[in-house]
Copies of this chain bind each other. A is one copy, B any other.
């Protein structure tokens, strides 16, 4: 029932980070300060910080402290090369469909849970550019129950994940992906400005989150001829 102390501290700090109380590159309170502040021992403070490190929120520098980190880099997610890394630089995102009440599409490849099938569904669709070249079409579905008021709100910094984190305190905890090379259909060809029949990389994604109610299902269609999709994984 009761949560361990280190996890309480961990979650407290996490929510502060998510709320933007600490910016990327800034330092968290030191272990000893946390000890005083929460009346705990250093063992417990360290455990909380170690967990935040494992989750990718901070990096720990001996002699200096615990520094806030850009979390995206720690997740082994597939990213369009020169996309999220080169933030802002020549990158553009256009809504093809703003968030709306939608239907669980039969094109979603990764299996939905039964409970999800019986809940209303939100949907949005975007087209992503590098320079003026459209490189990725992105279709997203997720259950409406976890994100009340989502349709009215704008995206934080134009980022869906940042919105989840800062407005709903929901983090991505994992992902499952399936990758296929397919011929572009007419719709995708038109959107990505290629000939129909060009090979596209089709990525079917399921994101798990810290909210058990919320999984995000995405179908991505990528023109990889100029900008391949990349990812990195490190222990």
Contacts and interface: CB of A to CB of B under 8 A. Distances in A.
A128 to B, nearest CB: 16
Interface string A215-235: 000000010110011111111
B230 A208 contact: no
A94 interface: no
A176 B234 CA distance: 9
A77 B173 contact: no
A180 B75 contact: no
A180 B227 CA distance: 8
Contacts of A36: none
Interface string A104-139: 000000000000000000000000000000000000
A9 interface: no
A153 interface: no
Contacts of A175: 232-233
Interface residues of A, number: 36
A60 interface: no
A235 B179 contact: no
Contacts of A56: 235
A200 interface: yes
B76 A76 contact: yes
A181 interface: yes
